[in-house]
Amino acid sequence: MKKLIIVESPSKIKTIAKLLDKDYVIMSTMGHIKDLPSKKIGVSIDKNGVSIEYVVLDGKEQTIASICRQASTCDIIYLAPDPDREGEIIGWHIAQEIAKVAKKNAQIFRISFNEITEPAIIEAISHPGDLNMKLVEAQQARRVLDRWVGYEVSPILWRKIAKGLSAGRVQSVALRMICDREKSIRNFVPEEYWSITGNFAHNKAMIAAPLTNIGKEKAEIKDEKTAQKVVESLKKENYAIDSITDKVRIRNPLPPFMTSTLQQAAYNLLGFSVKKTMQIAQHLYEGLPLKDPSSPVALITYMRTDSLRIADTALQQVRGYINKNYKADYLPAKANVFAKKTKAKTQDAHEAIRPIDVNMSPEKIRQYLPPDEAKLYDLIWKRFVACQMKPAEYAQRQVTIKGGIYTFKVTGSTLIFDGFLQVYQEEEEGEKDEKIALPADLKEKNPLALKKVDPKQHFTQPQPRFTESSLVKELEKEGIGRPSTYATILNTIRARAYTALEKKKFVPTELGMVVTDLLVKNLPEIMDPKFTALMEEELDKVAHGELERDILLKDFHKTFEKDLAEFMGKDGGKKAVETEIMCPQCKKHKLAIRFSKTGEFLGCTGFPECHFTSNFTRDEKGTIELKEVEAPKLLDKKCPNCGKQLRQMHGKFGDFIACSGYPECKYIERKTLPFKCPLSGDDIIERAWRGGKFWGCSGYPKCKLAIFDPIEETPCPQCKWPFLTKKTNKDGESTLICVNKDCGYKSQQ
């Protein structure tokens, strides 16, 4: 009996194949095979409901044909894409195609597994089910909502601001968070305050303690004059220890990872971007070769999850591991259980992220893994083992010192039992351990001598800008997005010209601020974080069968259509942001921020009477400063045509090198690849067009070779063309492709 298993990623094929017998053929859809059409909205709504049009994605015709050809010969077909909404829609789409060619009595089942192990796969095959149409409808609802916002709002932005702009239902809300934070930073007014530390002598030791109270009131000192007055008064008092409080402080282990916390920890501890973390986690989930290069081994459970649940078998295994490898007092009497603290509703469809086999320690397999995969596995393994260990314990002593109306307090902390810290150490927010050592012979009523008073000036600080880690944390806290969407949200924000990264922190561009202000003003509902979080909850209800897909979509569309119509009819002409800066050329009109294909610039509002333009920068407070245009830089290179010096120039497509003899000499230096065009033998040079830059044959128009994707200088293993191109999908998965139309070579990385 022939059996076919269809997975989502080709990387899983080898891992699964080694676990099953030869009756099974395993094939991959290589991600989605169908989607909404790219050149029209593909969604219609009427009194009968919502209709969705799907088309086969470019390049997937051959994939579908191959799967269907194999399926037509099989008796049982198992749909096994990833166990989430995206996986369910992939399974539904390929099932529709298979149904056209399957044998009359062929059976089609949906199976899913949280880990790629023999027990998990056998269990799934032994208990097959049907596609979950509620999950399919939830994915459709999300896709339609995103299509409506992106497809309907983006053209309005083209008309009102600049061509090529786009909006996204969730991404635009995340951008708003970044912009709101930037506004609060710009508007923040620092407030001065002072701290005072007293240095007290006790025998041969010194105790540094901050002033906490003046009388019964908290010591709040606003300026230097008050600080000096307090300092002089402090010097006149006699001091003694008023009280000593000893207690044991417990620090509990952190829960196992879920998607958001893994992304945050990998960013903070390893310096991995969210996108990189998910790519590496995907490799660990799908399987990597260890001792046997031909036999990949899956190392972690499914990495897109918002659950902290741990399977009983995994708990038994990790408790056994702790019992065997650590002293008896490191293992709690019963397993630790964790619950989420955020607004987002836990789906609990999967477990937390954990190693499949805890006995496969990082030390045992590090030598077989690529460096980054080894680092992430080490992090996941340690966090999981630590989560089932006893808390750390600190002996904490607080000493209160009094003199007259003044009270000083100092707390010292000593680690007395490391517990889970023996395996995993990561400070949570507000969990910094005290490093203050206090003398052991302190007693209440002991007199102390004030040797020095140290006043220090401080200023309040604004909230910091978002990093990838803190933005994911905020999105999760507000219930915006889901584990499968965080990486895509951040990728989209970074890819657009709406933000820039400065010291790994998101800074909105002028364009990002203007787009956000315009959307908040005209589409307040879709730009409201609370509404976006509510929509996530509604999508969850669709997935659970508690809400009809079309009811959700119709309710959204009713308000959205009304707001959109009003937005479309407002404010003709391009959006410009008027400033308070007077034009330095005509001295009659103010300057305004305008937008073009090459970015934002300042232009006189008196145009066309005045043609003044200038680049600009903003300081930390948001104040605009005009930027002088740099003169072209002469280079120590001669023009090969006329012999004059070449110079570095800047144009609308970026920097380039050209002859200083222009316009008499029009020579422009071209970047050239180190190999020739395989079609014509001519050079392959960098060219520019309105969409950016690409590589093209210098023999154009006779040879029309054009390459828009990044180039890998690796010869094609099939046809020996001198290079491959790398295409990366929205999930960050990369595929090497040969552009030789007669070859068709592809290899997923």
Catalytic residues, by residue number, are: 302
> Which residues is 410 bridged to in the sheet?
399
d(CA 258, CA 307): 6
Tokens 């012999």, residue?
A: 643
Count CB-CB contacts under 10 A for residue 227: 20
Distance of CA 49 to the CA centre of its chain: 35
Q: Do 416 and 395 form a contact (C-beta atoms < 8 A)?
A: yes
User: What's the DSSP call for residue 390?
Assistant: P
DSSP string, 709-741: SPEE----TTT--S-EEEEE-TTS-EEEE---T
- Which of 230, 168, 109 has its CA nearest to residue 526? 168
- Which of 489, 521, 481 has its CA nearest to residue 157? 521
d(CA 144, CA 137): 10
**What does the CA dihedral 166, 167, 170, 174 come to, rounded to 10 degrees?**
80
Burial of residue 83 (CB within 10 Å: 0-12, 13-18, 19+) is buried
Q: Do 191 and 162 form a contact (C-beta atoms < 8 A)?
A: no
d(CA 666, CA 685): 17
d(CA 41, CA 148): 8
d(CA 58, CA 76): 28
d(CA 133, CA 131): 6
d(CA 154, CA 163): 9
d(CA 335, CA 107): 41
Q: Do 168 and 147 form a contact (C-beta atoms < 8 A)?
A: no
**What does the CA dihedral 659, 660, 664, 669 come to, rounded to 10 degrees?**
10
> Which residues is 251 bridged to in the sheet?
392
